[in-house]
Chains A and B, each alone.
Chain A
Amino acid sequence: MSATLEATDLHKSFGGVHAVAGVTLRVAAGELLALIGPNGAGKSTCFNMLNGQLRPDCGEVRLRGEDITGMAPRRVWRMGVGRTFQITATFGSMTVLENVQMALLSHRRRLFDLWNPVGREDPARALALLERVGMAAQAARPCGVLAYGDLKRVELAIALANDPALLLMDEPTAGMAPAERVALMELTARIARDGGIAVLFTEHDMDVVFGHADRILVLDRGRPIAEGAPEAVRADARVREVYLGTGATHGHA
């Protein structure tokens, strides 16, 4: 079976620092892969190479078999990659519904429409997406006034708007209360399995990681040091050393 996302031997250095040195990963449809590691392990760099914000020095990124290495983020999105940010990014001057509608309009390539008011668009599809993430009741509220956890849900709805094959979630539960975290990850896992969407996420909360990921890839100083099912990774000696051992952190993120 071919994987939804296949990244091969990614490298990236900043100045003399090898932020990422030889990361290879695969995510299959419906699978949740967690990318973890101590601060400065190269998670964010790795992530940004997958979504197009950074161009890898060498290596290859393939989505459903197509080469997307170094494509601009907006083109990566059109290829079928939805993403959420560590610090939420939504359009604060628009309502929750309009935020989702923007993604839909972009998907249908209608952004240069100068004539038809957005207010008269059929909201059914956007409302259905909001329904899926449990935000339909707040559709009419401006995004600028939402609670943080709710913004994360809105981001998820936006990310789902173009029927993505892959979801990239950078610290999806950062800044949320513990109960909210579990709820959001359960929701994500359900959506992924129902829709056959591959999910790659980074996360600091180990409960979230070990509770929801199908597989875990551990990075340290830019290199993969362990990969596998949660139980196997939990038992891995090197992982224990990285997380518990010296306690020192290395390099910079």
Chain B
Amino acid sequence: MIFGVTRIVNFAHGSFYMLGAYLAWTLVTVLPRGHLGFWGGVLAAALIVGVIGVLIEVLLLRRIYKAPELFQLLATFGVVLIVQDLALLIWGPQDLLGPRAPGLRGATEVLGVRFPLYELFLIAVGPVVLGLLWLLFHRTRWGTLVRAATADREMVGALGVNQRMLFTTVFFLGSILAGLGGALQLPRESVNLQMDLAVIAEAFVVVVVGGLGSLPGAFLAAMLIGQMQAFGILIFPKITLVLAFLVMAAVLVVRPHGLLGRPPSSAHVAQAVEPPLEATPGWGRWLLLALLALAVLVPPFLGDFALIVFTEIAIMVLFAASLHFIMGPGGMASFGHAAYFGLGAYGAALLVKHFAAPMELGLVGAPFAAGLAGVVFGWFCVRLSGVYAAMLTLAFAQIAWSAAFQWVELTGGDNGILGVWPSAWAQPKLVFYYLTLALCVAATLLLRRAIFAPFGYALRAGRDSPLRAEAIGMDGFHIRWAAFTLAAVAAGIAGGLFAYSKGSVFPTYMAIPRSVDALLMVLLGGVQTVSGPIVGALAYTWIHEQLMRLFDLWRLLLGTVILLLVLFFPQGLAGVARRRG
């Protein structure tokens, strides 16, 4: 609903869900026991979340409705980080268990199987809410306006409808529903701090499969994937998430815009014209060379800790450059770039664990594993554009993450894989640093070279004008696919080096926060500047390091930094420097 009207993909929706659960827990435990206490608490929690949603809409989103999609996504992710730390502050890190629903504590027999009453109640709630929404949308003036705005926002504006009011009320209702969803989970599951990202990834898969902006589609997809997971767990307990992925893949091959979705209308899409790509200006070139000289000359005089930081920065430069390659020239936002970083790391680690492979082989395996994933995932992702593609990349990353998390025999699950150490000659921190520096700088320079070569130009051509690109014989799909794969390979090299520098790999290497790290580096540096990712990676890794070291609540600060960045520096650091210089 929110997406249909505002065209904002709201990461914070998962946070609303989590807040709903936490608030309901507080209210239900504080209020007197009994029907009023429980149901009143649940509804009040949903309403409070609705109000929080309105506050966020008015204070933040209103300012960025005209900003590029990517910034909107990032801004809402900033909210996610802030809410996470606030929830940690208020409710603490431990899982909270709620009371059971009064009146629905028991169980009943359904076809000879004991079935909790509360679950039956939940099964009924879904269709009831859907029915109420349907009535709201088809029987009220407000609902008609919402549907009209979903179909053609500009036209509704031209007819004199107060869009601000409409957006805010839609956001209010959407947030209430998210809060209600979270609150209703209370008697079933414990409330914890991971709820937000877990539910949002699933919601994205559901929305993409159902078709963006289609309520019945979302409902249908939720049923389909829910059933697949419920029955899949009986047959293939290890791969329930892979099943969801297979469903999504199958649906998207047959219907690229989802079960009930339609291709996005391009009637009103105003293409922002990007400035021509310039080589880094003279002083910038000197600055980069100076940085490189520092990176080569200083480390022999540094301690181990500084060397580790330097190594990490070199890796992050390549990681950011690989994401920039598809985001800048390609115009495709990836919200799951960490998948390829992580798969590179796992590719190397698995070779070590299962075949006792030496580092040299591991470093070849890393980009290979990541590239393979890039070929498969990319085939789906590059068919879609804009937010659709971004959501899909996120969903794939989440699937890769859960595979690493769930498939304990192969990956060690949450415990990761330990003992991924470099070969004897590269054991000294300094030697490994130089190895990392050499590989990362070389790969980054190759990516830069490709941007200025016909391939990079063809990539930009497809971004600027797909119509013209096709009309001069360019095969946009294969070009974007190749670029996606190339970016995955580069991220895989970074991931492999990262694994050897840490000596271990964990599922968090491909979790959403790492994908967002990469996005922030690219955005901090500026998407449309070739040297942007390098500057961005340096600045971001440094800021991150400082925040982590100085403050416990680094997520809160990071979230705030993101919001400030989106609101005040949409051009990125390198972009600002260029305008001044």
Per-residue B-contact encoding for A63-84, CB less than 8 Å = 1, 0 else: 0000000001111011000010
Residue of B453, B468, B469, B472 with most partner-chain A CB within 10 A: B472
B468 near A93 with CB under 8 A, answer no
Contact with A along B452-492 (1 / 0, CB 8 A): 11110110110111011111111100010010000000000
**In the assembled complex, how far is the CB of residue B126 from the closest CB belonging to chain A, in whole angstroms?**
35
Asked if A162 is at the interface (CB within 8 A of a chain B CB), the reply is yes
Main secondary structure of the interface of B (DSSP, over half): helix
Closest Cβ of chain B to A99, distance in Å, is 8
- Check A242 for interface membership: any CB of B closer than 8 A: no
Instruction: Say whether B457 contacts A98, CB under 8 Å.
Output: yes
Q: Output the least CB separation between A145 and chain B (Å).
A: 8
Find chain A residues with CB under 8 A from B470 CB. Answer: 72-74
Residue of B nearest to A119 (CB): B452
Please give the distance in Å from B318's CB to the nearest CB on chain A. Answer: 16
A86 to B554, CA, bound (A): 53
Q: Are A74 and B475 in contact (CB under 8 A)?
A: yes
A93 partner, pick from B446, B450, B458, B464, beta carbons under 8 A = B464
Please tell me if the beta carbons of A111 and B479 are within 8 angstroms of each other in the complex.
yes
Contacts of B271 in A (CB 8 A): 92
Q: Say yes or no: is B274 at the interface (Cβ < 8 Å to chain A).
A: yes
A90 with B454: in contact, given A74-B474, A144-B275 (CB under 8 Å)? no
Give Cα A78–Cα B460 distance, bound, in whole angstroms. Answer: 21
The stretch of A101-109, A180-188, A194-202, A228-236 that contacts the partner chain: A101-109
Nearest chain-A residue to B479 (Cβ)? A111
A91 contact set on B, CB distance < 8 A: 460-461, 464-465, 468-469
Chain B 553-571, CB-CB to A under 8 Å as 1, else 0, gives: 0000000000000000000
A77 and B473 contact, Cβ closer than 8 Å, known pairs A92-B271, A102-B461: yes
Closest Cβ of chain B: how far from A116's Cβ, in Å? Answer: 6
On chain A, the residues within 8 Å of B274 by CB distance are: 92-93, 144
Give min CB distance, A109 to chain B, whole Å: 8
Whether a CB of chain B sits under 8 angstroms from the CB of A226 is no
B453 and A117: CB pair below 8 A?
Answer: yes
Contact residue among A78, A92, A114, A119 (Cβ-Cβ distance under 8 Å from B455): A114
Q: Select from chain A the residue with minimum beta-carbon distance to B474.
A: A106
Q: Flag if A111 contacts B471 (CB, 8 Å).
A: no
| Residues of chain B in range 374-389 having any CB-CB distance to chain A below 8 Å | none
Among A77, A78, A85, A105, the residue within 8 A (CB) of B454 is A105
Check if B165 is an interface residue, CB within 8 A of chain A.
Answer: no
Using known A-B contacts A113-B455, A116-B453, A119-B452, determine if residue A93 contacts B471 with beta carbons closer than 8 Å: no
Q: Across the interface, which residues of B come within 8 angstroms of A161, CB to CB?
A: 472
Quick one: which of A74, A110, A114, A116 has the most chain B CB within 10 A? Answer: A114
Expressed in whole angstroms, the minimum distance between the Cβ of A96 and any Cβ of chain B is 10
Closest Cβ of chain A to B274, distance in Å, is: 4
A158: chain B residues at CB < 8 Å are 468, 472
Contact of A115 among B453, B460, B464, B475 (CB under 8 A): B453
B578 contact set on A, CB distance < 8 A? none
B276 part of interface (Cβ distance < 8 Å): yes
A74 contacts B471, CB within 8 Å? yes
B458 touches A102 (CB 8 A): yes
Q: Are A102 and B467 in contact (CB under 8 A)?
A: no
Complex contact B453–A118 (CB within 8 A): yes
Residue of B nearest to A120 (CB): B452
Q: In whole angstroms, how far apart are the Cα atoms of A83 and B469 in the complex?
A: 11
With contacts A74-B470, A77-B471, A106-B472 known, is A142 near B454, CB below 8 A? no
B contact residues around A110 at 8 Å (CB):
454
> Do B276 and A95 touch (CB < 8 A)?
yes
A103 CA / B453 CA spacing, docked (Å): 14
**In chain A, what residue has the closest Cβ to B464?**
A91
In the assembled complex, A208 has its CB within 8 A of some CB on chain B: no
Is the CB of B100 closer than 8 A to any CB of chain A? Answer: no
A77 to B464, CA, bound (A): 19
Closest approach, in angstroms, between the C-beta of B463 and any C-beta of chain A? Answer: 8
The CA-CA distance from A61 to B468 in the complex, in Å, is 22
Q: Per-position contact with B for A145-182: 1 when CB-CB < 8 Å, else 0?
A: 00000000000001001100000000000000000000
Quick one: which of B270-304 are within 8 Å of A by CB? 271, 273-277
Whether A102 lies near B455 (C-beta < 8 A) is no
CA distance A113 to B458 in the complex (A): 10
Pairwise interchain contact A77-B472, C-beta atoms closer than 8 A: yes
B472: which A residues are within 8 A, CB to CB? 74, 77, 102-103, 106-107, 158, 161-162
Residues of chain B lying within 8 A (CB to CB) of residue A51: 471
Closest CB in chain B relative to A63 CB, distance in Å: 14
| 8 Å CB contact of A162 from B275, B446, B473, B482 | B473
In the complex, what's the smallest C-beta–C-beta distance from A131 to chain B, in angstroms? 19
Contacts from A to B (Cβ < 8 Å): 51, 72-75, 77-78, 83, 85, 89-95, 98, 101-103, 105-107, 110-119, 142, 144, 158, 161-162
Known: A91-B461, A91-B468, A103-B472; 10 extra A-B contacts, CB below 8 A, are: A94-B276, A94-B457, A105-B457, A111-B458, A114-B449, A114-B455, A115-B449, A118-B457, A158-B472, A162-B472
Interface pairs (5), CB distance under 8 Å: A91-B468, A94-B464, A103-B472, A112-B458, A118-B452
Q: Which 10 A-B pairs have the closest CB atoms?
A: A89-B468, A144-B273, A92-B273, A93-B274, A91-B464, A111-B458, A113-B454, A114-B450, A77-B473, A103-B472
Question: Which residues of B pack against A, CB within 8 Å?
Answer: 271, 273-277, 446, 449-450, 452-455, 457-458, 460-461, 463-465, 467-475, 479, 482
